[in-house]
C-alpha cells in the first residue's frame, strides 16, 4: 500500500477553509503543535475504563502507555470514552447493553477525525461490543486486552474469581462455610487488577481476538499487572500507526478463515459458550456468513488442550506461564488456516510456529489432549427449532444422554420462590426448565441458565442436573446446561409450551433435544399460548425488545447488522 495516500483525518485537519480552521483551532485548546495537523495519522484510543467496571479499572493508565507507542511511531493519539459494561454490577444484565455500547463505539469512530483505532477491552461485553462497533466502520483497528487478574488465593489454594460464585449456596448450605470463611474468600478471590482469571467469558474474548488475528501475538493471557502487558500495549500503539499507513482494515483480517480459526481455538481452550453469540454478532457486522451450525461443524470435534477452570483445574496466570495461547495455536495448526493474516503483518501460522510449552499439565499436546472432543455442541429438535447449545467439556458425561421429567419455572422470580421448597416434586433425574430469560423475555438474555440446584438435592450429594433455558451461562460456570434455546419462550418458541411432567430427551451425540409430546398436542398448546407483555414501554430497552434478533443470529439488533463504513458526507456548518 502507498504510504502517501490521503488520511481520513485530512478532511478535518488538512484543509485551509473555514472548517479546517474550526477543527484545528478548537483542538489547539489542548496545546497540540502545528505538526500534529500535517499528516500524522490520528489514532483513536477507545477506552472502556470506568470505576463502575472493576475489571477495566486499570485501563485509564493503559491508555497512556498506548499513547507512548502512537507518538513514537509518529501518530497523533486521542483517547475517547465509550459506554463501559461492568459484568459484576450492572442490572439486569450487561448483555442488554452490549448492542447499545456497540452503537456508541461505531458512531464515535465514524463521527470523528480518526484514521485508526485501538480498542482497550477487558470485562466480558467490552470486547465484543467495541469490536462490533469498529467492524461497522471498518478502519484499521487493533485490540489491547486488559488481561486477567492474578490467581485467587484461599487457605493456601488457588481459586477462580467467578467460578466460586456458583459454589456459594453449596458451601454455605452443605459444607457449613461460616460468614468469616465467605469473607476470607471474598477478599482473596479477586486480589489484583484485571478481569476474571478463569477461562470465563472475559478470557475467552481475549483469546477470541488473538485467534482472529486482532492482537499482537501472545497478548491474551498476560496478567493485567504483569509489566509485559504494558509493553504489549505500547507496541500495539506503535503498530496501529503502521497499520494506518498500510491501510490494513478490519475487513482485511476478519475473513471467513479467521472466524473458522477462532472456532477451533475456542474449542481447544474450553472457551465460554458466550463466544458463540458474540462471534455470530461480530460476523454479522463485518459481513461474513456464519451460522450456528458452523460452530458445531468446525468446533465440536476439537481436542481440549487447556486444563483451565471451569473445564479443568488451572487459571489464566498458569496458562500464561505455560506459554499461553500461542502454544494452543501451534498445536492446532493442522486444523487452522495458517495463512490467515494478523495485525502485525504476518500470518497466524508464522506468528506461532515456534511457540514453546513450559508445562504440559496446563497445555497438553494435541496427541495427548485432556479430552478428545471438546467444543460446543449445537442441538436441534422440536424444543429448539433454530438451535440450542451445550458445552460438553463442562458437563457430566452420564447426563449427555438422558430422558427426564420436566420441572418448569415460568420466570426467574418463579424459580427463586420455589426452588428450595422442601415440597417441590423434583429429583436428580428431572430436567429443570427455566422460561422467560431470552433476549426479548428478560429482556437481555442474562447468565442465569446454570441455576443452582435445590438445596434438598445438594444435601443429598447431587452436584449436577440437566438445566434448559433460553438464557446464557457465565463462562466461569459449568454443568450439564442447555442454553440459547431458539426461538425463545417469549416469542412463542416450543420452550414456552413445556409443562410440568413432560418428558424431555437429550442426546448430545445425536445433537438432539426433544420434547416428548405429539405434534397435535404441541399445536394445541401453541394455539392457546398468549405472548407476555413487554417489560417496558419506552427508551432503549423497548427499542431493544422490538429489534433484537434471536440467539442463533447473535442477538444483535436487526438494524445494526452490517456496516455504514467510515464516510461522513456532511460537515457541522
Each residue's pLDDT tens digit in the chain (573 positions)? 344 689 999 999 999 999 999 999 999 999 999 999 999 999 999 999 999 999 999 999 999 999 999 999 999 999 999 999 999 999 999 999 999 999 999 999 999 999 999 999 999 999 999 999 999 999 999 999 999 999 998 888 888 887 777 678 888 888 888 989 888 888 888 999 999 999 999 999 999 999 999 999 999 999 999 999 999 999 999 999 999 999 999 999 999 999 999 999 999 999 999 999 999 999 999 999 999 999 999 999 999 999 999 888 999 999 999 999 999 999 999 999 999 999 999 999 999 999 999 999 999 999 999 999 888 999 999 999 999 999 988 899 999 999 999 999 999 999 999 999 999 999 999 999 999 999 999 999 999 999 999 999 999 999 999 999 999 998 878 899 999 999 999 999 999 999 999 999 999 999 999 999 999 999 999 999 999 999 899 999 999 999 999 999 999 999 999 999 999 989 988
pLDDT given for residue 121 in this prediction: 98
**Three cell numbers at 138?**
471498518
* Largest separation between any pair of C-alpha atoms in the chain: 79
pLDDT given for residue 413 in this prediction: 97
pLDDT given for residue 256 in this prediction: 98
| 3-61 per-position pLDDT tens digit | 468 999 999 999 999 999 999 999 999 999 999 999 999 999 999 999 999 999 999 99
Could you give phi then psi for residue 520, rounded to 5 degrees? Answer: -65, -40
Give the residue ranges of DSSP H helices in 78-167: 95-111, 126-135
Instruction: Find, among 345, 349, 346, 319, the residue nearest to 334 by Cα.
Output: 349
Distance between CA 98 and CA 132 in Å, rounded?
A: 9
pLDDT given for residue 2 in this prediction: 40
Domain extents in the chain: 40-150+192-352, 151-191, 377-533
458 sits in which H/E element: helix 455-458
CA 245 → CA 7, 112, 374, distances in Å? 9, 18, 41
Inter-residue contact 437 to 493 (CB < 8 Å): no
pLDDT given for residue 4 in this prediction: 63
Q: Which fold has domain 377-533?
A: Glucose Oxidase; domain 1 (3.50.30)
**b/e per residue 309-325 (b: at least 16 CB within 10 A):** bbbbebbbbbbbebbbb
Q: Give 190's DSSP letter.
A: S
pLDDT given for residue 531 in this prediction: 94
| CB-side neighbour CA atoms (13 Å) of 481 | 27
pLDDT given for residue 166 in this prediction: 67
Distance between CA 198 and CA 200 in Å, rounded?
A: 5
CA 201 → CA 59, 61, 473, 539, 564, distances in Å? 18, 23, 10, 28, 28
pLDDT given for residue 1 in this prediction: 35
Could you give phi then psi for residue 459, rounded to 5 degrees? Answer: -70, -20
Inter-residue contact 278 to 129 (CB < 8 Å): no
Could you give phi then psi for residue 219, rounded to 5 degrees? Answer: -70, -30
Distance between CA 129 and CA 121 in Å, rounded?
A: 9
Put residue 539 in one of left, alpha, beta given phi > 0 → left and psi -120 to 50 → alpha.
Answer: left
3-state secondary structure (DSSP) of residue 78? strand
pLDDT given for residue 3 in this prediction: 47
Amino acid at each position: 500500500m502507498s504510504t502517501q495516500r490521503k488520511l481520513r483525518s485530512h478532511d478535518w485537519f488538512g484543509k485551509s477553509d473555514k472548517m479546517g480552521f474550526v477543527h484545528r483551532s478548537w483542538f489547539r485548546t489542548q496545546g497540540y503543535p502545528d505538526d500534529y495537523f500535517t499528516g500524522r495519522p490520528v489514532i483513536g484510543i477507545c477506552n472502556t475504563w470506568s470505576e463502575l467496571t472493576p475489571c477495566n479499572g486499570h485501563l485509564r493508565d493503559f491508555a497512556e502507555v498506548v499513547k507512548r507507542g502512537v507518538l513514537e511511531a509518529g501518530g497523533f493519539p486521542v483517547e475517547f470514552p465509550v459506554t463501559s459494561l461492568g459484568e459484576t454490577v450492572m442490572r439486569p444484565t450487561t448483555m442488554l447493553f452490549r448492542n447499545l455500547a456497540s452503537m456508541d463505539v461505531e458512531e464515535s469512530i465514524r463521527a470523528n477525525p480518526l484514521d485508526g483505532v485501538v480498542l482497550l477491552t477487558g470485562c466480558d461485553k467490552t470486547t465484543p461490543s467495541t469490536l462490533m462497533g469498529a467492524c461497522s466502520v471498518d478502519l484499521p483497528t487493533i485490540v489491547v486486552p486488559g488481561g486477567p487478574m492474578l490467581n485467587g488465593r484461599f487457605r493456601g489454594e488457588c481459586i477462580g474469581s467467578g467460578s466460586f460464585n456458583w459454589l456459594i449456596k453449596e458451601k454455605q448450605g452443605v459444607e457449613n462455610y461460616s460468614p468469616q470463611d465467605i469473607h476470607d474468600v471474598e477478599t482473596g478471590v479477586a486480589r489484583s487488577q484485571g478481569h476474571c482469571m478463569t477461562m470465563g467469558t472475559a478470557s475467552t474474548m481475549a483469546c477470541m481476538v488473538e485467534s482472529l488475528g486482532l492482537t499482537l501475538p501472545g497478548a491474551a493471557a498476560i496478567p493485567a499487572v504483569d509489566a509485559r502487558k504494558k509493553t504489549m500495549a505500547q507496541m500495539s500503539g506503535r503498530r496501529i500507526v503502521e497499520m494506518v499507513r498500510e491501510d490494513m482494515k478490519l475487513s482485511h483480517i476478519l475473513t471467513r478463515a479467521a472466524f473458522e480459526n477462532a472456532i477451533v481455538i475456542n474449542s481447544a481452550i474450553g472457551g465460554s459458550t458466550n463466544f458463540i453469540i458474540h462471534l455470530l454478532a461480530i460476523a454479522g457486522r463485518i459481513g461474513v456468513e456464519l451460522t450456528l451450525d458452523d460452530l458445531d461443524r468446525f468446533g465440536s470435534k476439537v481436542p481440549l488442550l487447556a486444563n483451565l477452570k471451569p473445564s479443568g483445574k488451572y487459571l489464566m496466570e498458569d496458562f500464561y506461564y505455560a506459554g499461553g495461547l500461542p502454544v494452543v495455536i501451534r498445536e492446532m495448526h493442522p486444523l487452522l488456516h495458517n495463512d490467515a493474516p494478523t495485525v502485525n503483518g504476518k500470518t497466524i501460522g508464522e506468528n506461532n510456529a515456534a511457540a514453546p510449552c513450559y508445562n504440559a499439565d496446563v497445555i497438553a499436546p494435541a496427541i495427548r489432549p485432556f479430552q478428545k472432543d471438546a467444543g460446543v455442541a449445537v442441538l436441534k429438535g422440536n424444543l429448539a427449532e433454530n438451535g440450542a447449545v451445550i458445552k460438553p467439556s463442562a458437563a457430566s458425561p452420564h447426563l449427555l444422554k438422558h430422558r427426564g421429567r420436566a420441572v418448569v419455572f415460568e420466570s426467574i422470580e418463579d424459580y427463586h420462590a420455589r426452588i428450595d421448597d422442601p415440597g417441590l416434586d423434583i429429583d436428580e433425574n428431572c430436567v429443570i426448565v427455566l422460561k422467560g430469560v431470552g433476549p426479548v423475555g428478560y429482556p437481555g438474555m442474562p447468565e442465569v441458565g446454570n441455576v443452582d440446584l435445590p438445596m434438598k438435592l445438594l444435601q443429598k450429594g447431587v452436584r449436577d442436573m440437566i438445566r434448559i433455558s433460553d438464557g446464557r451461562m457465565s463462562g466461569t460456570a459449568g454443568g450439564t446446561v442447555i442454553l440459547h434455546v431458539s426461538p425463545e419462550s417469549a416469542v412463542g418458541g416450543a420452550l414456552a409450551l413445556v409443562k410440568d411432567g413432560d418428558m424431555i430427551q437429550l442426546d448430545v451425540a445425536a445433537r438432539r433435544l426433544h420434547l416428548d409430546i405429539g405434534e397435535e398436542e404441541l399445536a394445541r398448546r401453541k394455539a392457546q399460548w398468549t405472548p407476555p407483555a413487554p417489560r417496558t414501554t419506552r427508551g432503549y430497552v423497548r427499542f431493544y425488545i422490538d429489534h433484537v434478533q434471536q440467539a442463533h443470529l447473535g442477538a444483535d439488533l436487526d438494524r445494526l447488522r452490517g456496516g455504514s463504513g467510515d464516510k461522513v458526507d456532511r460537515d457541522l456548518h
